[in-house]
Structure 1
Amino acid sequence: MPSMRTIEAQPIANRYARGWHCLGLASEFSDGQPHTVNAFGTRLVAYRGDDARFHVLDAHCPHMGADLSHGVVRNNSLVCPFHNWSWGCDGICNSIPYSITIPPTARVKSWPTCEQNHLLFVWHDPAGKSPSAELDIPRIDACYSDDWNDWVMEKWTINTNCRELIDNVSDMAHFISVHGVPVEYFANIFEGHKATQVMLGKSSQLAMEGGLLTYATYYGPAYQITEMKGEMGGFTIDSILLNCHVPISLNSFDLRFGMLVRKIPGLGEEQNQEMARTYIKFTQQGFYQDVAIWDNKVRIDNPLLCEGDGPIYHLRRWYQQFYQDDGEVPAAAREHRVFELNPGGLSTAPPLHHVFER
């Protein structure tokens, strides 16, 4: 008699992924006030200075441990609420009101940031290396076009390890059982820091007559953009989905889900906004379904797979590169690889490419 498969789960390594992480809409940090960010097992503070640039610092003052996110922004510096020590955007203390000299070690970590697509990003690397240009967040032209509605954003705190979210990239079968979306075609493309899911499926709420075709690409470990074409109320709906997360701890993360929806010609501004809100609501329901599963499952390092499952083991090898120092990542983890599943028996597959790449 065959032996039973035993679920294995190693302790989660005390390390957070190397890469760009999206903190949400840049406008949320544009009021000249300090903002608390719980991330990477610590507390950060984000603010925009008089230089109109966004800055992120470690939030705990090394003087007496106060929370700098409860302080005030002065010019490009952050003033501690406890003793008014002033910390520049480079993390170096530049003023102590009751001391002529400043200790040479008076500095806190300053985190690299970037603003793109009206979103604010912070760079995390345990080794302290700066991001290379090839990892730049790509521009989404729709963000800067009057033909599209602005981002509509939701934020949820999920109490599990963020690998559960990443597994969805290769988990074809759950689209049918969890989301009720029969899949005609499914593929994954892995290349460098990018991982893409191509899916052609059917959705009673969102799909057109020809099916729901999506291209979803992760740029690094935590920022995914999806291009989707669907239908609602007799209108063709073009949309762009944002799925990004920031780990709070090893067992929790903030998930931000956003959408851009192209305006429908002939409809007024208010009608377009209402159409976008309704379409977004239907799409968000899918994430609620995933969260219900995550809330009740266990971590598993050795999933028992069958031929209809996607390349979850390869996905995890790709994802593991972000938990290694850049110079230690094996070349195989970044190789161009394509995996295809064709449950619908299509004679012609959709073109295989990363999102927005033709």
Structure 2
Amino acid sequence: MSTLHRIEVRPLQDRYARGWHCLGLASQYRDGKAHRLDVFGTRLVAFQGEDGQLRILDGFCPHMGADLSGGCVEGNGLRCPFHEWRWGADGVCDDIPYAKRIPPRAKIKSWAVSEQNHLLFVWNDPEGNPPIAEQAIPRLDACYDGEWAEWELAELKIETNCRELVDNVADMAHFDSVHGAPLDFFSNHFEAHMATQVMRGRSARLSGDSELRTVATYYGPAYQITEMTGAMNGQPIHSILLNCHVPIDQHSFTLRYGVLVKKVPGLSDEQNRAIAQAYVQQAREAFYEDVAIWHSKTRVDNPLLCDGDGPVYQLRKWYEQFYTDVAELPAGLAERKDFIVLESQAEPA
């Protein structure tokens, strides 16, 4: 009997995760234009109506298939560039210039949106259910506090399935081997729709000779916030990192990452902004190190683990909830599950 461990790769589900997905800064959609969104294996369109509200509709006109992101905003709706059918904020066609009557089935999907922390979110649910109240994006007080610099954001297209990114929550070993960040403490905590990673260690990039401490939490399948204390050039830095993704299709996703930095007293706004931009650049370099591996590795559904690895299987079980119909969700999801992987010192408070 063979003792070889054969890699298993099951077919990908033809669905995208249920939950809120971040589309970047809300301000970038407030320019009076229609914005093309290639997400969830389809095309959507985002725009701001005259009432100031941001809306997202299906991106293709069902009349003759035109791309609505090439149209123009009119009132709280969007006018198709092909035959000028106008689609209201609710997705209902309310005007056809050359028609006496509007077909009763002239309606496209209006997607649920949310603005929080100066970011725009879209809700995806393969079952078509409305957003779950308990999974609302939590407010970050730092976003509204003058002692913190504004978001510095960047984005990157990644040519792989988004599960590779989420696996990082439990993948303790790669922080040292890939990013040169040896750890002294590492734990995971899974509860309801949240997955948290607590780390303490060192990073030449983000803490110099000082200790690096992070508490990173996924709120749903695609939006992670990290509270981090580190240092740059000997100056202690308190920052909040944004890591979020939106699937383009099953084999690619848009990664958005950014940072809020608490202003250093005595430095100008320009100097504090430079610190934030430097942190974003450090995040970019770290992500590229992961990307180089993601683009050449294979998907593994049955990873062969050792006693020094994190709770990868438990993380994937937590993550599976977002791809499961609500009626079929297993009991016990709300129960907190703790995994301490490395404990060379006491866990930070």
Structure 1 window deviating more from structure 2 (77-86 vs 285-294): it is 285-294
Aligned residue runs from structure 1 range 216-235, under 5 A: 216-235=216-235
TM-score, with structure 2 as normaliser: 0.98
- Aligned counterpart, 1:177: 177
Q: Which amino acid aligns with 2:181?
A: V
Aligned residue runs from structure 1 range 47-86, under 5 A: 47-86=47-86
- Aligned counterpart, 1:291: 291
Shift of 1:128: 0.7
- Aligned counterpart, 1:108: 108
Report the 3-state secondary structure (helix = DSSP H, G, I; strand = E; otherwise coil) of the residue aligned with 1:69. Answer: helix
Q: Which amino acid aligns with 1:119?
A: L
Structure 1 window deviating more from structure 2 (15-24 vs 147-156): it is 147-156
Shift of 1:289: 0.8
Shift of 1:36: 0.1
Cα distance in 2, alignment partners of residues 252 and 139 from structure 1: 29
Cα distance in 1, alignment partners of residues 180 and 296 from structure 2: 19
- Aligned counterpart, 1:95: 95
Report the 3-state secondary structure (helix = DSSP H, G, I; strand = E; otherwise coil) of the residue aligned with 2:291. Answer: helix
Deviations 1:15-63 (A, max 9, x none): 1000000011101100011000000000000001011111000011011
Q: Is the 8 A contact 1:232 1:279 kept in 2?
A: no
- Aligned counterpart, 1:350: 348
Q: Which amino acid aligns with 1:350?
A: P
Aligned pair count reads 349
Alignment RMSD: 1.2
Q: Is the 8 A contact 1:170 1:312 kept in 2?
A: yes
Cα distance in 1, alignment partners of residues 257 and 27 from structure 2: 16
Q: Is the 8 A contact 1:56 1:113 kept in 2?
A: yes
Cα distance in 2, alignment partners of residues 141 and 115 from structure 1: 14
Aligned residue runs from structure 1 range 26-65, under 5 A: 26-65=26-65
User: Runs (4+) of structure 1 moved beyond 6 Å?
Assistant: none
Shift of 1:100: 1.8
Q: Is the 8 A contact 2:214 2:227 kept in 1?
A: yes
Shift of 1:206: 1.6
Deviations 1:60-117 (A, max 9, x none): 1011111111000001010000000000010000001011211000000100001000
Cα distance in 2, alignment partners of residues 225 and 60 from structure 1: 33
- Aligned counterpart, 1:355: none
Report the 3-state secondary structure (helix = DSSP H, G, I; strand = E; otherwise coil) of the residue aligned with 1:27. Answer: helix
In structure 1, runs of 5+ residues without a counterpart are: 352-358
1:121 and 2:121 correspond: yes
Deviations 1:195-236 (A, max 9, x none): 000001111222265521100000000000000000111211
Aligned residue runs from structure 1 range 154-173, under 5 A: 154-173=154-173
Cα distance in 2, alignment partners of residues 163 and 334 from structure 1: 22
Shift of 1:3: 1.6
Shift of 1:183: 1.0
Aligned residue runs from structure 1 range 208-247, under 5 A: 211-247=211-247
Q: Which amino acid aligns with 2:232?
A: M
Q: Which amino acid aligns with 1:66?
A: A
Cα distance in 2, alignment partners of residues 204 and 67 from structure 1: 47
Q: Which amino acid aligns with 1:141?
A: D
Structure 1 window deviating more from structure 2 (174-183 vs 273-282): it is 273-282
Report the 3-state secondary structure (helix = DSSP H, G, I; strand = E; otherwise coil) of the residue aligned with 1:300. Answer: coil
Shift of 1:283: 3.0
Report the 3-state secondary structure (helix = DSSP H, G, I; strand = E; otherwise coil) of the residue aligned with 1:332. Answer: coil
Q: Which amino acid aligns with 2:87?
A: W
TM-score, with structure 1 as normaliser: 0.95
Q: Is the 8 A contact 2:208 2:233 kept in 1?
A: no
Cα distance in 2, alignment partners of residues 295 and 98 from structure 1: 50
Cα distance in 2, alignment partners of residues 307 and 165 from structure 1: 22
Q: Is the 8 A contact 2:240 2:260 kept in 1?
A: yes
In structure 2, runs of 5+ residues without a counterpart are: none
Q: Is the 8 A contact 1:317 1:333 kept in 2?
A: no
Shift of 1:132: 2.1
Cα distance in 2, alignment partners of residues 173 and 128 from structure 1: 38
Shift of 1:2: 5.8
